[in-house]
Amino acid sequence: MIKRIETKGEKEKKSRRNRWILAGILVFIMIGSTFGIVFQNFSGSGSGGGGESINYNGYTFFIVNGYYNLQTGDANLYFSLNPLNVDSIIKTVETNKTLSDYIGKVIYVSSSDYNSYGEIYSNLGSFAQRIQEACIEGEECLDLSLPIKTCLDKTIVIRSADQNKIYEKENCVYIEGKENDLLGLTDEFILRIFGIK
């Protein structure tokens, strides 16, 4: 079978028709996805809506993918532990730091616990100029490529100790405790600086 020869005008007409069909499909997809998002939010299946939740100090935490999510103001916070369980950790807390102490600043973190570092990074990262791992002057440093910092810099030190405590010394905040409690102590610190506790 021989293919019919098309004129230039017929080719342009066919091309224009195909573009209109493609544009129509794209518009349909965009409008459909908008309605899908709206429907999902109203039905309560979106993030921050519906599902399991807990109330803590007047705040509602939603359980999202195994994390405790709190949306407050400009903050979208994620905690690994239930805030009610954080309260049950026996500890001494001596810090008055607030979020304003960290907004727009470089925050250095020296941590022996990767999960605690991740909790700091994910919750303070959008407020700080940047968050960077560091070593503390006078202490053993396992990664020689990291900068050495003192308490003249905004530094959060997370390390194992016999007693659970959170305290500050100049610009340093020390989160110290038993290995199993470090993540909970880190959550305690974050809850406090955001004024949730």
- The domain tally of the chain equals 2
Instruction: Indicate whether 58 belongs to any domain.
Output: no
pLDDT in tens, 15-29: 778 777 877 787 777
pLDDT of residue 33: 62
The verdict on 4 and 99 lying in the same domain is no
pLDDT in tens, 159-185: 999 999 999 999 999 999 999 999 999
pLDDT in tens, 81-132: 999 999 888 899 999 999 999 999 999 999 989 999 999 999 999 999 999 9
Instruction: Indicate whether 48 belongs to any domain.
Output: no
**What is the length of the chain?**
197
Judging by beta carbons within 10 Å of its beta carbon (0-12, 13-18, 19+), is residue 81 exposed, middle or buried? middle
3-state secondary structure of 79: strand
Q: Is the pTM of this model over 0.75?
A: no
Whole-number average pLDDT of the chain: 86
**Positive or negative torsion for Cα 47, 48, 49, 51:** positive
Domain that holds residue 174: 90-193
The verdict on 103 and 21 lying in the same domain is no
Instruction: Indicate whether 33 belongs to any domain.
Output: yes
